[in-house]
Structure 1
Amino acid sequence: MSSTPIFSTPPPPPPLPHANTTRSSTTLHNPPPEKIAILIDKSKSLNHLNQVHAFLYRHNLHDHPILNFKLQRSYSSLGHLNRSLALFNKTQNPNVFFYTSIIHAHTIHNLHHLALLFYVQMLSQNVFPNAFTFSSILKSCPIEPAKLLHGQAIKFGFDAELYVRTCLVDVYARGGDVVSARTLFDAMPEKSLVSLTAMITCYAKYGMIDEARVLFDGLEERDAICWNVMIDGYAQHGLPNEGLLLFRQMLNAKVRPNEVTVLAVLSACGQTGALETGRWVHSYIENNGIGINVRVGTSLIDMYSKCGSLEDARLVFERISNKDVVAWNSMVVGYAMHGFSQDALRLFKEMCMIGYQPTDITFIGVLNACSHAGLVSEGWKFFYSMKDEYGIEPKVEHYGCMVNLLGRAGYLEEAYELVKNMEIDQDPVLWGTLLGACRLHGNIALGEQIAEYLVSQNLANSGTYVLLSNIYAAAGNWEGVARVRTLMKESGFEKEPGCSSIEVNNKVHEFLAGDLRHPKSREIYEMLEEINGWLKTHGYTPQTDIVLHDLEDAQKERSLGVHSEKLALAFGLITTKPGTTIKIVKNLRVCADCHAVTKLISKITGRKVVMRDRNRFHHFVNGLCSCGDYW
């Protein structure tokens, strides 16, 4: 590498002022280099550092190796890499400390390529690295060059140094090479908090949550970073309840949450529908100086929307100053998932009029809004405008919205053609959506055709078989149901169990169909008996045609009566005050029978019930649902 400066040399710094020669200003009159070095280290502003630099020029100390080195390092730490680099390039025969400093300066500015070039230049000048050189260059280094540097560290005998080994573990962990990271980690005789955090991060990121938790539990001391990594790992890998429990342990351990913490916790709250916990986090944010910036505000909007409180989501949205398109998207998506389609479309038009450029996420919200309202022509218009007006190539999610829109509206052939002719890879979720539409409209022939195609292309999953079973069961074809169940068993698939959750007194309670594990099971089933009496009085007839087994009607009724959402509803009725809104989250689509029952319960009890299923929100009030029975 040439020694020609990469950046031009800056003009000489301004001279020190000579006026007002007081006792404090004369302390710089030929002081020893050690005092000047201390002055450089204490410099907190570019102006102050420039004055010291000018003093060195006037007193012919600008080539002093220690002072030059400290100036170079200080300019870099203040964010002025060009000045630091100019000093380095004027240094005669820089030693390993100068090289390590300039390498570190480029690394912290994410200029990894240039940092590597300086490392190569150093070796070409027969200047050998030390442990700090490797720890500096490995920080945030991409994994491929890091592998080469690992070899260099072994060659120079620094690979066993604690700082170097910690950086190597971090590099391999960030790069996804879990085996190499673990091998290095296990061989460390002394494990630092940084190396432990790196390993926890790597297991959590790649779904090895149990392994990460073992390491986490083994920590003698835990800083906020460790807690954040573990909580976020749970939230990102479908274990939000565990994340919320760990958050409570973090608070009990007197570790102060920060912005990263609250973002992870809000995500977990949104997944479980833990509204009261989310509100507590919101209050904590406002009372502890974290601040509601755009990022935190957007997370609050997302949490409140997913927890069923669209009013709170809108209040947060209105309070965010300098909204970005992500904040607008969150509000559009929030309205759409609650079925408030016209509000979502109005907000979309408003953001476009103000001048925001829609993104692919914006159109997911807009197309979902059309889907929930059956707005077929509007949906096609938005779908085509993505590419024609905004240059956004539709992704599988957008095709999924269109298939859902067309399928629910009964345009099965159009949906089928759209999936067959799309220009992206085939996706089993899309076919599953279309199969669900076949079940909804009783199109057995097309359903069988789709299912056979998915099996032949190895795209079938448990949902494929369950939906086909639904189609056969709805038509009373029990032989077909039995055949599909046999195929499902032979393929090793298991039906995803329905699970409903409800938050009461800041604790999330989960129920499976027929669940008897809850401490209040006796009271819950007593309430179910009472509910059944109410329903019969109001002329309710169980929708036994949705049961997937060839059973007697009485057995089918018993099967329907213990669905997970009914258990959650009964639990809500016995544990909350009369008039309180009941909020339920289900992992699957709410069945037609549970939908009909919940409408009646809202009328009988005068309670509002908000239920989030896999597709959307349902707001049950006085015997009616916000979906208009279209879902």
Structure 2
Amino acid sequence: MSSPLPPPLAPQTLAAQIERSGSTHHHLLQLHAAAFRSGHHLHPIVNLKLQRSYSSIGRPDLSLYLFRLTPDPNIFLWSSIIHSHAFHGLHHSALLLFSQMLSSPSSPTPNAFTFSSALKASPLNLGRALHALSLKHSLLSDTYVATSLLDMYARGADLSSARKVFDVMPMRNIVSFTAMVTCYAKAGRLELAYKVFDAMPEKDCVCWNALIDAYTQHGRPNDAIMLFQQMLRSGLKPNEVTLVSVLASVAQLGWLSTGKWVHSYAKNNKITFTLRLSTALVDMYSKCGNIQEAFLVFDSIPNKDVVAWNSMIIGYAMHGQSREALRYFSEMQKTGVQPTDITFIGVLNACSHAGLVTEGREFFSSMVKDHNIEPKIEHYGCLVDLLGRAGFVEEAYDLVTSMKIKPDPVLWSSLLASCKLHKNMILGEKIANFLLANGLANSETFVLLSNIYVALGKWEEVAGIRRLMKEGGIQKEPGCSSIEVDRKVYEFMVGDLSHSLSKQIYAVLEEFNVLLKAQGYIPQTDLILYDLEEAQKQRALAVHSEKLAIAFGLISTLPGTTIRIVKNLRVCSDCHTFTKFISKITGKKIVVRDRNRFHHFEDGSCSCGEFW
């Protein structure tokens, strides 16, 4: 004889069990079945709990299915289903539901939660209409509605309206303050963002993250790291989001010691190494010059996505380990991960840094043919750079002039640099005249134009270039090199005398210049763009910023310590030769990150193999 069925659960009991079910799909289906058997599945409380639970496990479709079965949904059910779709990024569906609610025959009056949910899904124009509607329903005084309005205007980059909402809010909480900070931050108004942040009566991790990330994204990594240090001093514990932003700033600056400290902090404070955080570490180590550590982190990631693979491929390309970059591209595809346009920037850069012309052409062609990825200006730039530096200057020029996309100054600069490198002065002068005639020259192209004219001995044209730059207010970006010693960063400009150890630095440089000349080093004075005496040109070359930074590193670090330099411009060929000699004489390994790539100098040779 079969045992009797258990008595059906009361609606309140079912609702409580559904709320406690957590995120277990199977358990939730069992409770749903129990509710259906007992006839309570459409009970308002049970129905609401089921809908919210399905949404919480990422199944808004099941929430909607259940909602459609409800005969006369009340305002709580309407608000819940709108919120579910807005939360999951299904903005069109959320707004359609909101519209259906307003137009239904038994339309319930929308409440604050309804409006705040709809506003999360609204673009600027529709959001303004909802603003007026919320005013009609006397809901502007509600903190959640006001904060959602503020967030909507922030997303739409309407700073003026966002500030007006913020200023008239009857009560401001930490969420509304953070929304205002984010609004200014996204628009790049960092001083205003900081002013609002500084006025906050209390601060949580979210608002700190918003400001730190803003400084990182807008190219002020020093300030981002200073804010992070302030956050730590305040006693607030950073989370994964904080560290991802901080690591991005460290990567911009190339401060390896600081990056290592952040990595150790995450370990010591038991912060979970998510895929995003691990990928940020790979990127940081790559850009700070330690590709071996980048690989160790990458190797520890269990389920790598395309962003993680891209970081490792680009890292190897930056360090001149082109074959490794291409090998990892192949490995990525074997795992079933599909490449993106970012992947091909890394792959083409790898080909460019090793002179792999045939492979580069094939990869560029395969983007559209095999992967349906339309090349962007960055991909054309990589291929032009590859062809030009490998000596196929005319082919590179043909590519630039036949592109579907309008060439940018970076492309022209790359092409001009190739003309100079391979002494194709006829084409170089042709490009120079074209750029000048069409007003397309920027500071970098002006400098390269000067280089072309210097090589041709056309000093009048060089003077003309300088005159055009002066008239246009265009200034050559000054060279700046930085070195991190004992987690303190020192910066050097060309001919810098501001450092407290300047006398020792210049004495070391003078000593090495004598030694290097005895070893066969000849200063490349043809790089000087002024018609000066030879001795004056040599003195100008001797005080380049990376030479000063290297000299400081030699007197400030212990034997066996790697000297790591970050330069804002491309390393000139004279400094490249100088650094090779220094690495041989001192036995020190010197790693230089310039605008284009990494150079690892060791025992008189460079990892770039003279192809840079």
Superposition pairs for residues 24-423 of structure 1, below 5 Å?
44=22, 69=48, 72-73=51-52, 76-77=55-56, 81=60, 84-85=63-64, 88-89=67-68, 91=70, 93-124=72-103, 125=105, 126-423=107-404
1:442–1:475 contact (8 Å) kept in structure 2? no
2:95–2:122 contact (8 Å) kept in structure 1? no
1:483 pairs, out of 442, 464, 468, with 464
Q: Which amino acid aligns with 2:402?
A: N
Question: CA, structure 1 residues 95+270, in 2 after alignment: closer, same or farther (shift >3 Å)?
Answer: same
1:572–1:582 contact (8 Å) kept in structure 2? yes
2:6 pairs, out of 6, 18, 29, with 18
Alpha-carbon distance in structure 2 between the residues aligned to 1:85 and 1:359: 34
Deviation at 1:607, TM superposition (A): 0.5
- Sequence identity, in percent? 59
Residues 472-506 of structure 1, C-alpha deviations (whole Å, 9 max, x = no match): 23333322211001111222222112111111112
Number of residue pairs aligned between Structure 1 and Structure 2: 607
Alpha-carbon distance in structure 1 between the residues aligned to 2:383 and 2:47: 64
Q: Which amino acid aligns with 1:307?
A: C
Corresponding residue of 1:587: 568
Question: CA, structure 1 residues 119+322, in 2 after alignment: closer, same or farther (shift >3 Å)?
Answer: closer
Q: Which amino acid aligns with 2:271?
A: I
Deviation at 1:227, TM superposition (A): 1.8
Deviation at 1:251, TM superposition (A): 1.9
Q: Which moved more, 1:410-419 or 1:274-283?
A: 274-283
Alpha-carbon distance in structure 1 between the residues aligned to 2:589 and 2:205: 39
Q: Which amino acid aligns with 2:367?
A: M
The reply on whether 1:472 has 2:453 as its aligned counterpart is yes
Deviation at 1:545, TM superposition (A): 1.4
Question: CA, structure 1 residues 597+49, in 2 after alignment: closer, same or farther (shift >3 Å)?
Answer: closer
Deviation at 1:421, TM superposition (A): 0.6
Question: CA, structure 1 residues 203+507, in 2 after alignment: closer, same or farther (shift >3 Å)?
Answer: farther
Q: Which moved more, 1:158-167 or 1:478-487?
A: 158-167
Q: Which amino acid aligns with 1:404?
A: D
Q: Which amino acid aligns with 2:395?
A: E
Corresponding residue of 2:584: 603
Deviation at 1:85, TM superposition (A): 4.2
Deviation at 1:440, TM superposition (A): 1.9
1:85–1:102 contact (8 Å) kept in structure 2? yes
Deviation at 1:58, TM superposition (A): 8.1
The reply on whether 1:565 has 2:553 as its aligned counterpart is no
| Matched residue SS, 2:293 | helix
Alpha-carbon distance in structure 2 between the residues aligned to 1:142 and 1:503: 46
2:51–2:62 contact (8 Å) kept in structure 1? yes
Q: Which moved more, 1:265-274 or 1:436-445?
A: 436-445
2:591–2:601 contact (8 Å) kept in structure 1? yes
Deviation at 1:415, TM superposition (A): 0.8
Q: TM-score, normalised by structure 1?
A: 0.88
Residues 216-239 of structure 1, C-alpha deviations (whole Å, 9 max, x = no match): 233232211122222222222222
Alpha-carbon distance in structure 2 between the residues aligned to 1:46 and 1:545: 72
| Matched residue SS, 1:619 | strand
1:587–1:614 contact (8 Å) kept in structure 2? yes
Deviation at 1:378, TM superposition (A): 2.7
Question: CA, structure 1 residues 627+95, in 2 after alignment: closer, same or farther (shift >3 Å)?
Answer: closer
Corresponding residue of 2:595: 614
Deviation at 1:250, TM superposition (A): 1.9
| Matched residue SS, 1:255 | coil
Q: Which amino acid aligns with 1:517?
A: S
Alpha-carbon distance in structure 1 between the residues aligned to 2:522 and 2:259: 38
Alpha-carbon distance in structure 1 between the residues aligned to 2:368 and 2:147: 47
2:391–2:422 contact (8 Å) kept in structure 1? yes
Alpha-carbon distance in structure 1 between the residues aligned to 2:501 and 2:422: 39
1:138–1:167 contact (8 Å) kept in structure 2? yes
| Matched residue SS, 2:140 | coil
Deviation at 1:462, TM superposition (A): 1.3
Q: Which moved more, 1:614-623 or 1:433-442?
A: 433-442
Q: Which moved more, 1:406-415 or 1:101-110?
A: 101-110
Q: Which moved more, 1:493-502 or 1:412-421?
A: 493-502
Q: Which amino acid aligns with 1:100?
A: S
Q: Which moved more, 1:527-536 or 1:492-501?
A: 527-536
Alpha-carbon distance in structure 2 between the residues aligned to 1:494 and 1:554: 26
Alpha-carbon distance in structure 2 between the residues aligned to 1:78 and 1:409: 54
Corresponding residue of 2:508: 527
The reply on whether 1:578 has 2:559 as its aligned counterpart is yes
Residues 363-399 of structure 1, C-alpha deviations (whole Å, 9 max, x = no match): 2222222222222233222222333333332221121
Corresponding residue of 1:446: 427
Alpha-carbon distance in structure 2 between the residues aligned to 1:226 and 1:321: 31
Question: CA, structure 1 residues 235+54, in 2 after alignment: closer, same or farther (shift >3 Å)?
Answer: closer
Alpha-carbon distance in structure 1 between the residues aligned to 2:372 and 2:431: 32
Residues 549-594 of structure 1, C-alpha deviations (whole Å, 9 max, x = no match): 2223333222222211112112211221122100111111101121
Deviation at 1:623, TM superposition (A): 1.4
1:241–1:508 contact (8 Å) kept in structure 2? no
Deviation at 1:609, TM superposition (A): 0.3
Deviation at 1:338, TM superposition (A): 1.2
Q: Which amino acid aligns with 1:111?
A: L
Unmatched 5+ stretches in structure 2: none
Question: CA, structure 1 residues 616+40, in 2 after alignment: closer, same or farther (shift >3 Å)?
Answer: closer
Alpha-carbon distance in structure 2 between the residues aligned to 1:627 and 1:61: 72
Question: CA, structure 1 residues 448+210, in 2 after alignment: closer, same or farther (shift >3 Å)?
Answer: farther
Deviation at 1:418, TM superposition (A): 0.7
1:169–1:185 contact (8 Å) kept in structure 2? yes
Q: Which moved more, 1:70-79 or 1:423-432?
A: 70-79
Corresponding residue of 2:405: 424
Q: Which amino acid aligns with 2:254?
A: G
1:325–1:358 contact (8 Å) kept in structure 2? yes
Q: Which amino acid aligns with 1:405?
A: L
Alpha-carbon distance in structure 2 between the residues aligned to 1:429 and 1:65: 62
1:432–1:463 contact (8 Å) kept in structure 2? yes
2:86–2:94 contact (8 Å) kept in structure 1? yes
Q: Which moved more, 1:231-240 or 1:34-43?
A: 34-43
Alpha-carbon distance in structure 1 between the residues aligned to 2:368 and 2:28: 53
Q: Which amino acid aligns with 1:18?
A: P
Alpha-carbon distance in structure 2 between the residues aligned to 1:361 and 1:73: 38
Q: Which moved more, 1:253-262 or 1:355-364?
A: 355-364
Alpha-carbon distance in structure 2 between the residues aligned to 1:346 and 1:113: 42
Q: TM-score, normalised by structure 2?
A: 0.90
Alpha-carbon distance in structure 2 between the residues aligned to 1:47 and 1:383: 47
Question: CA, structure 1 residues 479+456, in 2 after alignment: closer, same or farther (shift >3 Å)?
Answer: closer
